Amino acid sequence: MDFNLTEEQQAFRDEVRRFLDENLPPEEERDEMFQLKWGKLVREKRWVGFSWPKEVGGGGGDIMEQAILKEEMANRRAPPLGTCIMGLAWVGPAIIQYGTQDQKGRFIEDILDAKYQWCTGYSEPDIGSDLASLQCKGVREGDHFVVNGQKTWTSLAQWAKWMILLVRTKANTEKKHDGITCLLVEMDSPGITVAPIQNMSKQPFFAEVFFDDVKVPVANLLGKEGQGWQITIGALANERSGISEVTGLLRELDLLKELARNSQLGGRPALEDARVRRRIAEYETRVAAMRFNGLRYLTKQIRGEPLGSETSVNKLHTAHIEKYTAEFALELQGSYGAIAPGRNHPIDHGRWQKEALGWCTAVIGGGTPNIQKNIIAERILGLPHD
């Protein structure tokens, strides 16, 4: 692994830094107008969908430059490059890889322009970790599929215009992964009911979604019938070098240190206490390990090799750090830790309280720690099956 950047990569990093110096105000000055302006600026630079092919409207950039771009952005806590969250993360890559020309034309530019949100209909009641057992049914009838069943924990469902949906189109297949099909479904189709679920910080962030004889045109079938599992696994492996995530976590640790410096423990700044220093050092060590893992993933991607089970290692570290740093921050705040955001003077505007209540996104979303441990044990360490 060569840690040095080539001249071109160095020049690209300088260009990104110059852009940030010229266009990114301090965090406290970033209002809604700025967010709108930022969205247009980064789109004009073709930095949204940076590595997507130019023919579909992407930037046509390479993986290494993409990592540089994301790292520089995370370093300065810049807003995201594009706001169509799931569209950019996995729907777009899946459509680019498996979609028809018509689907690429209908959806990709809209994702890059953040015209609307997508949501993801994978999990069902009692079917989350064991996703391949999904039961929501799709039956082909002429030029459409008829969908019946239920999805749950569907993030953004009440605001999304489209859903990427997994349905079972064939029962009793030899392997449960077969017979699963991927459909692109318009959320205002007759027969869809969305029932929001409140999370523990009282945000209706996700929802249950019910399908009652919902007709989905065959033109919205992604890939082939029965190819749904392959599409899902392939799309989720996209853009997972994790380098920008590591930079984001380092910035998070800077804030934690700042909090420890400003909090008192036994009449002295908490940061001078050996136990506090040890805890922070443990988090920093984990993030440093994540960075090296991220560079390994990046090297594989540059060589054109697919990413597999190894990304579970960083997912596991992220879950640990996100959960325990927020809890530790509240410990440092003492009784102030109990003041809810929006009430009288919470420290750091209540950011740690919000994070302490929001850990489940990083910990459970995309697969729980137990599942990541199973993957590492079975597929990396070669231990017997669970």
Report the interface residues with ligand FAD, using CB under 6 A: 119-123, 128-129, 153-155, 206, 360-361, 364-365, 367-368, 370-371, 374, 386
- We find the least distance from the C-beta atom of residue 370 to ligand FAD, in angstroms, to be 3
- We find the least distance from the C-beta atom of residue 151 to ligand FAD, in angstroms, to be 6
CA atoms within 13 A on the CB side of 327: 10
Question: How far apart are alpha carbons 84 and 156 in whole angstroms?
Answer: 11
Rounded to 10 degrees, the C-alpha dihedral 231/233/239/240 comes to 180
Question: How far apart are alpha carbons 201 and 199 in whole angstroms?
Answer: 6
Reference 157, options 207, 85, 214; nearest CA is 207
Nearer to ligand FAD, 148 or 368 (CB): 368
- We find the least distance from the C-beta atom of residue 199 to ligand FAD, in angstroms, to be 7
Q: Tell me, rounded to whole angstroms, the distance of Cα 261 from its chain centroid.
A: 31
Q: Which two tokens stand for residue 64?
A: 């290494």
Nearer to ligand FAD, 56 or 85 (CB): 85
Reference 23, options 43, 6, 37; nearest CA is 37
- We find the least distance from the C-beta atom of residue 362 to ligand FAD, in angstroms, to be 8
Residue nearest to ligand FAD (CB): 128
- We find the least distance from the C-beta atom of residue 283 to ligand FAD, in angstroms, to be 22
- We find the least distance from the C-beta atom of residue 258 to ligand FAD, in angstroms, to be 27
Nearer to ligand FAD, 88 or 260 (CB): 88
Reference 78, options 12, 19, 11, 13; nearest CA is 19
**Phi-psi map region of 106: left, alpha, beta (phi>0 left; psi -120 to 50 alpha):** alpha
Nearer to ligand FAD, 23 or 368 (CB): 368
- We find the least distance from the C-beta atom of residue 286 to ligand FAD, in angstroms, to be 20
Question: How far apart are alpha carbons 312 and 363 in whole angstroms?
Answer: 12
Nearer to ligand FAD, 23 or 238 (CB): 238
Nearer to ligand FAD, 286 or 315 (CB): 315
Q: Can you give the length of the chain in residues? A: 386
Nearer to ligand FAD, 52 or 122 (CB): 122
In a 3-state reduction of DSSP, which class is residue 305?
A: coil
Q: Are 211 and 150 in contact (CB under 8 A)?
A: yes
Pairing of strands 162-168, 118-121: parallel
Reference 313, options 368, 269, 376; nearest CA is 376
Nearer to ligand FAD, 337 or 365 (CB): 365
Reference 195, options 150, 237, 161, 257; nearest CA is 150
- We find the least distance from the C-beta atom of residue 61 to ligand FAD, in angstroms, to be 28
**What is the residue type of 81?**
L
Nearer to ligand FAD, 20 or 132 (CB): 132
- We find the least distance from the C-beta atom of residue 337 to ligand FAD, in angstroms, to be 22
